[in-house]
Amino acid sequence: MILKNKKAIILVETLYNDLEFWYPYYRLKEEGAEVCVVGPEAGRQYTGKSGIVVKAYKGMNDVHAEEYDAIIIPGGYAPDHMRRHSAMVKLVKDFYDAGKTVAAICHGGWMLASADILQDKKVTAFFAIKDDLVHAGADFVDDAVVIDKNLVTSRTPDDLPVFMKAIIKMMADA
């Protein structure tokens, strides 16, 4: 229970990558963290790429960075939907600016680009969005997990074990 008394948000939107949502959700709970699922609207159900439905506990306007220790952005096509909501983008930026753990996997890097926090940051992501991240000012590397200050990024579901180890360590050390 290394994360007892720690709180994390996992963002959700339609077409989220099921593995990249549920693996972090259960790993954080396993370590004792309180996990809050946040979508554009509280109580709304969002369907993942595999058809698994998750309900948002809270809406994007119901949470504030100072109440939590980390925010996790799963991939799939959900980040493209997430970045259409300025409040979701602002939430990511607020976490980053507060020095809290900000983690993105796969296409989750799109939210980091939209939050304008990638300038001179070393990151990784699914290779298809490399150009987007580079154009946003990032130094893209092809590694399983990349940590740059309070940013943790990974490429694909295959990287989930090292992604979560890095997030858990960062949260525990904070």
- Between CA 9 and CA 59 the distance in angstroms is 11
Question: Which residues have CB under 8 Å from 28's CB, separation 6+?
Answer: 3, 8, 10, 35, 164, 167, 168
Give the type of residue at 54: V
Catalytic residue, candidates 64, 81, 85, 107:
107
107 is catalytic: yes
> Which of 136, 129, 12 shows the shortest CA–CA distance to 73?
12
20 and 157 Cβ atoms separated by less than 8 Å: yes
Q: Which residues are tagged catalytic?
A: 107
